[in-house]
Chains A and B, each alone.
Chain A
Amino acid sequence: MHTIPMNRDEFLLEMDEILDLPAGTLRGHERLEELQNWDSTSLITFIALAESNNGVSVSPGQIVTCTTVADLLRLANAESSSS
């Protein structure tokens, strides 16, 4: 369990893993609808990790307003680029 919230770069790497992409693939600008593995399982995983890593409770209602990966990072309070 992380005690220090994840920053943007760390969370992007987490999202790479969640979406089964090579590390370093995601930059933030990618549109969610274009990501093949963005499905209900990865959505639940994102919610669980936002909570366990950054202590942020995210609802599906908030997620449906997101269009890009960067929007997800904002929800997870993982916008800062360095820790």
Chain B
Amino acid sequence: MASEETTLQSEVLKALRYPIVVSDILRQRKAIKRELLKQANLVPTRIAILGGSTTTEVKSMLELFLLAQGIEPTFYESGYNRYSEDVEFENPDLWNFKPIIVFIHTTWHHVSEFPELLEADGEVENRVRREMARFESLWEKIHTKLGALIIQNNFDLPHLRPLGNLEASESFGRVNFVLRLNSEFAKYARTHSRFLINDILYLSAQVGQGVWFRNNYWYNFHMALSPIATVYMAHNVAAIVKSVYGKSKKCLVLDLDNTLWGGVIGDDGVQNLILGRDHPVGEAFLDFQRYVKSLQRRGVILAVCSKNDAENAKEGFSHPDSVLKLEDFSAFKANWDPKPENIRAIAAELNIGLDSIVFVDDNPAERDFVAEQLPEVAVPNVGADVSAFAEVLEHERYFEVDKLVQDDLNRSAYYSSNAERSAGQGKFSNYGEFLASLEMTAEIGSFLPVYLERITQLINKTNQFNLTTRRYTSAEVVAIAQDQGFIALYGRLADKFGDNGLVSVLIGEVSDQTVQLDLWLMSCRVLKREMEFAMFDALVEQCQARGIRKIVGVYIPSKKNNMVAAHYASLGFTSMGGASDGRELWSYDVPASYSPRKRYIRRTADGLVVPLPIADNESVSSRA
């Protein structure tokens, strides 16, 4: 990992980081691509770009930003303005390409019927419905026939306003109509998984209409976005794809003095900190704290890494205007040790990878030191002006999420209560006593529709306790859940400190009397809790119920999953040796009589043997 991230420090790649240097990217795109391709362990994906306008630039820029995220795309491009026909008439080139993601790059130019002047509201609504029907038919065919995830542009605003400001207020106005359509697109996104909006309405406002759309590029090349705007849009689409692949960051590590408040707590004392509405700079610190708090509420883990005496540092959060409270932080390192050491300790304590961490510090020397020592950690150049900190974090799109599920909201609470668990551990004479004290309960069963999004999310972001690191699309997960030829189990774990959520997934394909485990993963949140034993017990039960005599375990070594190298051996599997493709195979004969391995976890739900029908309109005919 270090080597690939070290490559990303290369001078030529700085143009991709905030503030994006568009002219450097345009000019040096070939050199940048060459540098990015030197990274190890790129994750391959297939993206079909279905364009209403010319997409050559879109493809070129999207490739750079995806490579920067460690994702290596191959592309299919529709012909000019054939975004709909390629799907409607099942273009064999597109079908053979088997896209994992379909990106539909349409803009306001592709609204097929704007309202007539003075048209009645009812007729305008009919036009909205017809437009939606046209797009929905396209989306549903992509979902059902191609099984791909869809990223769909919403609409930007027409650059000309013949009706002036009435365009926004009259229902037949074009601005108003576009916003109505965007609202319908959003509604569709809320009710359909595997459908994500690329918000070009926001992007065009951010870039500015005058830069977003240029007549020169439209009339000469039919580019709906200028090259400059295309860079920003590609950055945004890459962030969405990154989130789909579970590559978004999880944890924000913050310095304190002059980062979360103005002044030095150890010298100035809590009463003299600059924080609050009565001071212009204090207001900027307050707003940054509010932004950090909003990240924490949606599941980003917070940690402190500060050169301070711990007691002084903690006192800062007692400031009456401090929005952030001590309990918002899941790890707290305030001491005089080098910051890279503290960040390493935070990662270990939280059981997360260094590549999940973003570090924010106003001090450029500390930033450089951390960036140099821990190249896996993202260290944005936030500068020294707190009023820009949130903007920098936003622009880098570190914490992009494709879906927000309840487990995300519970995450911070979990990591905070984990500190209590760890503290409790010291009170017991042996580890078993500690596990028993946790009063753990597990719900283990066949995939349920309500959990499919979380299951997909976990599959695509778990790297360490993951026997094969095999990734599955949402469509594949849905298909497996419905397929009798698979054993597909999820596991939730709770204890007296709180609910850990859905933490383990296991998928095995059944053939005759054998099940081969293509996937077995577990969140590192619950390592050493015997949850893997509970999952194995449930698996054996299912095998017994279905007459399966043999379990074949697959282990595919990766740079990150060494912790499970001995997993199958520890469960009593026998090595079948290594296959030529690098896989290690392990075998286990299912006994007629089996004694459960788990000792400290009580099961609250029986594993369901028969896969449930999915109450979703997105059945998938084939796996991608």
Contacts and interface: CB of A to CB of B under 8 A. Distances in A.
A62 B424 CA distance: 75
Interface in B219-276: 220-221, 223, 226-228
Contacts of A41: 29, 56-57, 60
Contacts of B226: 48
Given A45-B227, A48-B227, A18 B27 contact: yes
Contacts of B221: 40, 44, 60
Contacts of B595: none
Interface in B278-301: none
A65 B22 CA distance: 28
B216 A49 contact: no
A50 B227 CA distance: 12
A80 interface: no
Contacts of A59: 216, 220
Report which residue of B27, B31, B221 has the largest number of chain A beta carbons within 10 angstroms of its beta carbon: B27
Interface in B194-233: 216-217, 220-221, 223, 226-228
Contacts of A51: 216
Contacts of B23: 1, 48-49, 52-53
B216 A45 contact: no
A49 B26 contact: yes
A57 interface: yes
Contacts of A1: 23
A18 B57 CA distance: 14
B456 to A, nearest CB: 35
Contact of A47 (B28, B29, B30, B216): B216
B27 A52 contact: no
Interface in B34-89: 56-57, 60
Given A44-B227, A53-B23, A37 B216 contact: no
Contacts of A79: none
B262 to A, nearest CB: 32
Nearest to A39: B56
Interface in B455-513: none
Contacts of B28: 17
A14 B27 CA distance: 7
Interface string A6-23: 000000001001101000
B56 A45 contact: no
B57 A37 contact: no
Contact of A37 (B22, B27, B30): B30
Report which residue of B26, B226, B227 has the largest number of chain A beta carbons within 10 angstroms of its beta carbon: B26
B31 A17 contact: yes
A49 B27 contact: yes
Interface in A28-74: 37, 40-41, 44-45, 47-49, 51-53, 57, 59-61
Contacts of A14: 27
Contacts of A52: 22-23, 228
A49 B231 CA distance: 14
A70 B216 CA distance: 23
Given A14-B27, A41-B56, A48 B220 contact: no
A44 B228 CA distance: 11
A24 to B, nearest CB: 15
Nearest to B60: A41
Nearest to A2: B23
A61 B221 CA distance: 11
Nearest to A16: B27
B27 A45 contact: yes
Interface string B360-401: 000000000000000000000000000000000000000000
Contact of B216 (A20, A40, A57): A57
B227 A40 contact: no
A1 B21 CA distance: 9
A31 B26 CA distance: 22
Contacts of A60: 220-221
Closest 4 CB pairs of A and B: A20-B30, A48-B227, A17-B27, A45-B26
Given A17-B28, A48-B226, 8 more contacts: A1-B23, A20-B30, A44-B57, A45-B29, A45-B227, A48-B26, A49-B23, A52-B228
